[in-house]
Amino acid sequence: MPSQREIRRRIGSVKNIRQITRAMQFVAASKLKRAQESTLAARPYGHSIDEVIADLAAVLGAEGHPLLRAPEAGSARTIVLFTTDRGLAGALNSNLIRFALKELETAGAGTKVVTIGKKGRDALARGGYEIAAAFPGFGDKPTFGDVTPLVRLLVDDFLAGRSAGVTLIHPTFVSTLTQRPEGVQLLPIRATADTAGIPGNQFLFEPNPGVVLEALLPRYVASRVFQAVLETTACEQSSRMVAMKNATENAGDLIGDLTLTYNKVRQTNITREMIEIASGASAN
C-alpha cells in the first residue's frame, strides 16, 4: 500500500491536472459559440448556391462547364481529409481517420490524399499512405481567403485530368454532443440539389446562363471547401469542450477515491502506532 506522502503527492498532481482541464473546457466553450454561429450562418448560403447550380445545370447540361463533366477513365481520385492540428478533442480525429481509411480501401490504388491538419497527416503517414499535399489547420478564426491555395490545387488537378474527382471528408456539426464524419463529392460538381422549385424554371440569368455558370462554379467550389473548414472548427471546439468536461469530472472522482484511500492509510497508521504504544507500556 502506498504511503501517505505518495498519496498526497498524487492528489496534488490530479488537482493540478483538473485545474488545467477545467480551464481548457472554458476556453473551448468560449470559442465554440463563435465557431457554431459561423457554421450555422454559412449553411443557408450553401443551400442557396446549390439551388442556383441545379437550375443552371438543368438549362445547360453537364457539358456546360468542365467542372461539371466527369473526367476520362484512368485518372485517380483525390480524397481531402480534414482533421485538427491539436489533440485533446475526444474521438473526433480518430473517427475521421477511421472513416477516411474505409474510403481509401474502396477507392482503389492510385488514390491521392490531401490532408488538412497535422493529426490526419501523421496518422496516414504512419499507415504508409502517400500524401500528395498537406496543409496545416486554419486556426480558430478561418477566413474565406485561407482556403484559396487548397481550392486552386484541387481545381487545377481536376481540370488538367490529374484527378478523376475530389471527395471531402470532414466532420459535420450536429450538436454539442454529436459530430458526424461525412464524405462529400466536391468534383465533378453534382447538380442534384434537393430544392423546392423545379430546376430550370426558378431563375432568370443575365446576360446568359453560360456566363453566370462560368463565374459561379469556382466560387461554389471555394464555398464548399470553406464550409468544411467551418464545420471542422466547430466540431473541434465542441469535442474538446466535452472531452475536457469529462476529464475534469473524472479527475474529481479520482481525487475523491485517493482521499478515501489516504484516510484509510492514515487511520491504519494511527491504529498501528496506538497498538505499539500500548504494547510498549504493557512490556514495561
Which CATH number does the domain housing residue 63 bear? 3.40.1380.10
Say if 268 falls within a structural domain: no
Residue pLDDT, tens place only, 105-149: 888 778 999 999 999 999 999 988 989 999 999 988 999 999 999
Distance CA 186, CA 218 (A): 11
Q: pTM of this prediction?
A: 0.87
Residue span of the structural domain in which 34 resides:
20-243
CA 245, distance to chain mean position in Å, is: 19
Tens digit of each residue's pLDDT (9 = 90 or more) over 253-271: 999 999 999 999 999 888 8
The answer to whether position 62 is within a domain reads yes
Helix axes 209-283, 92-107, angle to 10 degrees: 130
138 within domain boundaries: yes
121 assigned to some structural domain: yes
- Asked whether residue 226 is assigned to any structural domain, the reply reads yes
How many whole angstroms separate alpha carbon 70 and alpha carbon 74? Answer: 12
All three cell numbers of 224, joined, read 464548399
> Does 204 have pLDDT greater than 80?
no
pLDDT at residue 226, as a whole number: 96
Domain count, the chain: 1
Is 258 within the bounds of a domain? no
State the pairing for strand pair 78-82/112-116: parallel
User: What is the grid cell recorded at 236?
Assistant: 473541434
